[in-house]
Amino acid sequence: SYELTQPPSVSVSPGQTAKITCSGDALPKRYAYWYQQKSGQVPVLVIYEDNKRPSEIPERFSGSGSGTMATLTISGALVEDEADYYCFSTDTVSRGVFGGGTKLTVL
Amino acid sequence: EVHLVASGGDLVQPGRSLRLSCITSGFTFGDYAMSWVRQAPGKGLHWVGFIRVKAYGGTTEYAASVNGRFTISRDDSKNIAYLQMNSLKTDDTAIYYCTRKMAPDAWGQGTLVTVSS
């Protein structure tokens, strides 16, 4: 079955740039989406269709893609950005799949 | 404001069935695909399946782990989506989230399903 691979953890200091990657063979042909889930809360969409940001999401969140890899970038990470981040995409028969998640630590 | 409220979660024995409901408001339900996503305790997100809008046949797709056991349906007259879960296994224990669109852009609070003898 199709898989999306993320690093288990990323750690940055406040104000630094955090990059979270997501690799998958179908990503050159399928959009990537990114979700933020803070402890005990419901996931929130932060990036859709590779690089679009919902209006309520801060500008420091951005998305990009190159080949089989999608990247979520948080420019000038804040302590409040500490959360689990999941990428999402679809396989060639329209089934969805989430990456395993990346725990972002900002301290 | 978009609202999604999932309900129906319960403690059930392995092999039994359960139906979850997702009552929605704040958007034109019939214009959107609806999905279900689950999260086992302390684990990551797992896509369960989705149902297309009637204009695209209202057809469904499922994750391999639930295909043949779970069925998603929708009632556009009531703005409700359903997840019928049969032959439940202990591995199906999770919070089940109702979400809007195939790639979710809105999430409900979730309902807990515990499968245990």
B9-50 pLDDT tens trace: 999 999 999 999 999 999 999 999 999 999 999 999 999 999
Instruction: Report the amino acid identity of residue A100.
Output: G
8 Å CB contact of B110 and A42: yes
Residues A41-55 have a mean pLDDT of 97
Which chain B residues have a beta carbon less than 8 Å from that of A43?
37, 45, 97, 104, 107
Alpha-carbon distance A25 to nearest alpha carbon in chain B (angstroms):
18
CA distance A57 to A100: 22
8 Å CB contact of B35 and A97: no
Which residue in the set A45, A54, A101 is minimally distant from B44, CB to CB? A101
CA distance A9 to A22: 12
8 Å CB contact of B47 and A48: no
CB A32 within 8 A of CB B34: no
A8: which DSSP letter?
Answer: S
pLDDT band at A93 (very low <50, low <70, confident <90, very high): confident
Sign, CA dihedral A49-B46-B101-A77, equals negative
CA distance B24 to A84: 26
Which residues are within 8 A (CB) of A10 and not within 5 positions of it... i.e. 6 or more apart?
A18, A19, A20, A102, A103, A104, A105
Interface probe for B, chosen from A36, A45, A47, A49 (most Cβ of B below 10 Å), is A45
8 Å CB contact of A42 and B97: yes
Which residue in the set B44, B109, B110 is minimally distant from A98, CB to CB? B44
pLDDT band at B5 (very low <50, low <70, confident <90, very high): very high
Interface probe for B, chosen from A39, A50, A84, A88 (most Cβ of B below 10 Å), is A88
8 Å CB contact of B107 and A1: no
Mean pLDDT of chain A: 96
Q: What are phi and psi of A94, to 5 degrees?
A: 65, 30
pLDDT band at B94 (very low <50, low <70, confident <90, very high): very high
Residues B52-66 have a mean pLDDT of 96
Which chain B residues have a beta carbon less than 8 Å from that of A37?
45
8 Å CB contact of B107 and A101: no
Which residues are within 8 A (CB) of B42 and not within 5 positions of it... i.e. 6 or more apart?
none
8 Å CB contact of B61 and A101: no
